[in-house]
């Protein structure tokens, strides 16, 4: 069927005119939708401020910030949905969910790690196993917590590096909180000679650490006889300090420096590792004579004779 140019032009004009009329007819609904969205935005802003005020701690505490962001996001999404219903009366939430369909599942799998980190971050902020400023050990990293965000936790290592650890890892793996109890114990093994008096060495060690600044008196330092080593008798000196890294390192330096000086003044030997090497000629007449050689077996008037290979061969030939 042939359509004239005039008829085609008229249909196009009619279509455009319909779009224009529909647009102007929907302007009131668009305006109402924008007003609704602004209303929800103002409500979200007020709720966020209220959460910051009622949350324990400073007004900018991490938990208050996270809860405020979650509440703001929820109210803004709700405002957008209500605004869409006002502008498009045929729009329904169930229709939106149906339209997402498989795409929503794909998005969920794609952002699985992100959602895990988000949930773990919220739980960390709610339960607060550690706070900003605490010193922690997580995996191979040790440092001071700088920030706890919804996705990751930031720590500053002792050598000045920033490490970003996903919250899901921190929440699921063991974490040591060094500064949890306000004090931490340090220890060092001191090797003395077997000929030295153990009680004297212990008293010198205790008197030395008692005069060092930074070592706590309660719990008190102690010294234990810890090991009978190959070259020394080892004493384990233990003391308590403030848990901060600076305090631990400074106190350890003073302890080692003063212990070495005081032990030397008290006549206590700090022996070097020693090895004894025995040389003997297997062809010597004394080889195997246990009354004249001692290589680890106890001496006696009638030690057992060694089992010589030559004697065993001669016995075999005679048989």
Lowest mean pLDDT among 59-73, 77-91, 174-188, 267-281: 59-73
Tens digit of pLDDT for each residue in 218-238?
Answer: 999 999 999 999 889 999 999
- Asked if omega into 197 is within 30° of 0 (cis), the reply is no
> Which three-class secondary structure state does DSSP give residue 69?
helix
Average per-residue pLDDT for the chain: 79
Whether residue 285 is predicted with pLDDT greater than 60 in this model: the reply is no
Residue 51: the pLDDT is 77
Residue 117: the pLDDT is 79
Residues 6+ apart with CB under 8 A from 97: 104
> Which three-class secondary structure state does DSSP give residue 95?
helix
Task: Name, of 68-72, 80-84, 266-270, the range with top average pLDDT.
Answer: 266-270
Residue 25: the pLDDT is 64
- Asked if omega into 43 is within 30° of 0 (cis), the reply is no
Whether residue 293 is predicted with pLDDT greater than 60 in this model: the reply is no
Whether residue 188 is predicted with pLDDT greater than 60 in this model: the reply is yes
Whether residue 214 is predicted with pLDDT greater than 50 in this model: the reply is yes
Mean pLDDT over 139-154 rounds to: 90
pLDDT band at 198 (very low <50, low <70, confident <90, very high): very high
Mean pLDDT over 54-78 rounds to: 72
- Of 26, 45, 42, the closest CA to residue 87 belongs to 26
Q: Which residue has the tokens 């010589």?
A: 308
Q: Express as a percent the part of the chain with pLDDT over 70.
A: 69
- CATH classification of 184-265 is 3.30.70.100, yes or no? yes
Mean pLDDT over 190-218 rounds to: 93
Tokens of 241: 């300090």
Mean pLDDT over 179-184 rounds to: 92
Whether residue 241 is predicted with pLDDT greater than 80 in this model: the reply is yes
Angle at 133 between CA 129 and CA 135, to 5 degrees: 70
Tokens of 49: 């401020």
Query: With contact defined as beta carbons under 8 Å apart, do 158 and 195 qualify?
Result: no
191 vs 30 pLDDT, higher one: 191
Residue 109: the pLDDT is 62
Domain 129-177 has what CATH class? Answer: mainly beta
Residues 6+ apart with CB under 8 A from 40: 75, 76, 78, 79, 82
Helix H or strand E encompassing 305:
none
Pairing of strands 184-192, 222-228: unpaired
Whether residue 120 is predicted with pLDDT greater than 60 in this model: the reply is yes
Tens digit of pLDDT for each residue in 43-52?
Answer: 888 888 887 7
Give the single-character DSSP code of 59: T
Query: With contact defined as beta carbons under 8 Å apart, do 164 and 152 qualify?
Result: yes
Mean pLDDT over 26-34 rounds to: 76
Query: With contact defined as beta carbons under 8 Å apart, do 228 and 286 qualify?
Result: no
Residue 306: the pLDDT is 57
CA distance 110 to 104: 10
What residue spans define the domains of the chain? 15-110, 129-177, 184-265
pLDDT band at 1 (very low <50, low <70, confident <90, very high): very low
Whether residue 36 is predicted with pLDDT greater than 70 in this model: the reply is yes
Q: Express as a percent the part of the chain with pLDDT over 90.
A: 37
- Of 154, 157, 175, 178, the closest CA to residue 166 belongs to 154
Mean pLDDT over 109-131 rounds to: 78
Helix H or strand E encompassing 188:
strand 184-192
Q: What is the pTM of this model?
A: 0.62
Query: With contact defined as beta carbons under 8 Å apart, do 112 and 138 qualify?
Result: no
Task: Name, of 114-118, 236-240, 267-271, the range with top average pLDDT.
Answer: 236-240
């Amino acid at each position: 069927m042939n359509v004239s140019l005039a008829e085609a032009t008229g249909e196009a004009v009619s279509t455009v005119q319909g779009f224009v009329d529909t647009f102007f007819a929907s302007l009131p609904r668009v305006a109402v939708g924008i007003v609704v969205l602004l209303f929800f935005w103002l409500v979200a802003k007020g709720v966020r401020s209220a959460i910051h005020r009622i949350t324990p701690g400073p007004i900018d505490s991490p938990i208050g910030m996270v809860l405020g962001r979650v509440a703001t996001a929820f109210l803004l999404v709700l405002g957008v949905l209500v605004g869409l219903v006002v502008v498009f009366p045929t729009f329904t939430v169930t229709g939106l969910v149906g339209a997402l369909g498989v795409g929503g599942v794909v998005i969920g799998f794609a952002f699985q790690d992100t959602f895990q980190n988000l949930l773990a971050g919220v739980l960390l902020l709610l339960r607060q196993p550690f706070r900003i400023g605490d010193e922690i050990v997580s995996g191979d990293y040790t440092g001071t917590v700088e920030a706890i965000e919804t996705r990751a936790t930031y720590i500053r290592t002792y050598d000045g590096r920033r490490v970003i650890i996903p919250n899901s890892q921190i929440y699921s793996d063991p974490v040591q909180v060094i500064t949890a109890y306000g004090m931490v114990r340090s220890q060092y093994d001191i090797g003395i000679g077997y000929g030295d008096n153990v009680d004297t060495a212990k008293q010198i060690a205790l008197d030395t650490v008692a005069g060092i600044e930074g070592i706590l008196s309660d719990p008190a330092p102690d010294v234990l006889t810890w090991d009978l080593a190959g070259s020394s008798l080892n004493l384990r000196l233990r003391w308590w300090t403030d848990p901060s890294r600076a305090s631990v390192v400074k106190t350890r330096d003073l302890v080692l420096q003063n212990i070495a000086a005081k032990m030397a003044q008290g006549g206590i030997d700090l022996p070097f590792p020693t090895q004894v090497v025995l040389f003997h000629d297997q062809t010597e007449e004394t080889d195997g004579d246990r009354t004249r050689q001692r290589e680890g077996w106890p001496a006696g008037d009638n030690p057992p004779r060694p089992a010589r290979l030559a004697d065993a061969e001669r016995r075999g030939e005679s048989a």
